[in-house]
Amino acid sequence: MPTLIEYDPLHPDTIAAPYPVLAALRENAPVFWHEQSRSWALTRYADCVAVLRDSDTFARDRRRAGQAVPAPNLSVQSLDPPEQAPIRSLFMNALHAQDLAAVELRARQLVKMRLSELEESECFDVMAKVARPLALSVVADVLGVEEPEVDTFPPCPTRS
């Protein structure tokens, strides 16, 4: 099943601005065979949810670009039930142990702090100056780890 849209998820242009090509794929080829990864690709949210919820029909493919994933690189996202259950349970217990009201309060304080730092700015990139640093701060807070430098993570894709 060929697609009329060229899709290379690892191409620098796609990484920098994935949204236009994904929108075109959702419209014209919502399910297609991706030869480069030798796998089916789905681009519509509802289709992805249906596949992810049906582990009896659709097994998670542990390959990356057609290669076997070494055991140390496997994650909870790449495991199928029942192997996923004990690991997922550990994550969920850790999350439930959090005082989410306190996490929310801290997140609100961080937003106010970041915005007050930018008050004098005529214009700024909300993703770069607020959203990315805030996400890292909140996740680090929830996990109880030291907040990483935002520059150690690649920038998020932006809409074109």
How would you label 37-59 residue by residue, b for 16+ Cβ within 10 Å and e otherwise? Answer: beeebbbeeeeeeeeeeeeeeee
Judgement on whether residues 120 and 49 belong to the same structural domain of the protein: no
End-to-end CA distance of the chain: 28
Supply the range of the domain harboring residue 129.
98-152
Digit-by-digit pLDDT tens for the chain (160 residues) are 445 567 888 788 888 888 898 999 999 999 998 887 777 889 999 999 998 888 778 866 555 545 555 666 666 666 767 878 888 887 788 778 888 888 899 999 999 999 999 988 888 888 888 888 888 888 888 777 787 776 666 665 555 4
pLDDT for the residue numbered 78: 67
Judgement on whether residues 90 and 102 belong to the same structural domain of the protein: no
Domain boundary residue, one of 74, 95, 116: 95
Judgement on whether residues 91 and 123 belong to the same structural domain of the protein: no
Element (H, E) at 139: helix 132-143
Judgement on whether residues 104 and 90 belong to the same structural domain of the protein: no
Domain boundary residue, one of 95, 117, 141: 95
Q: Is residue 54 part of a domain?
A: yes
Judgement on whether residues 29 and 90 belong to the same structural domain of the protein: yes
pLDDT for the residue numbered 1: 47
Judgement on whether residues 113 and 55 belong to the same structural domain of the protein: no
What pTM did the predictor assign? 0.45
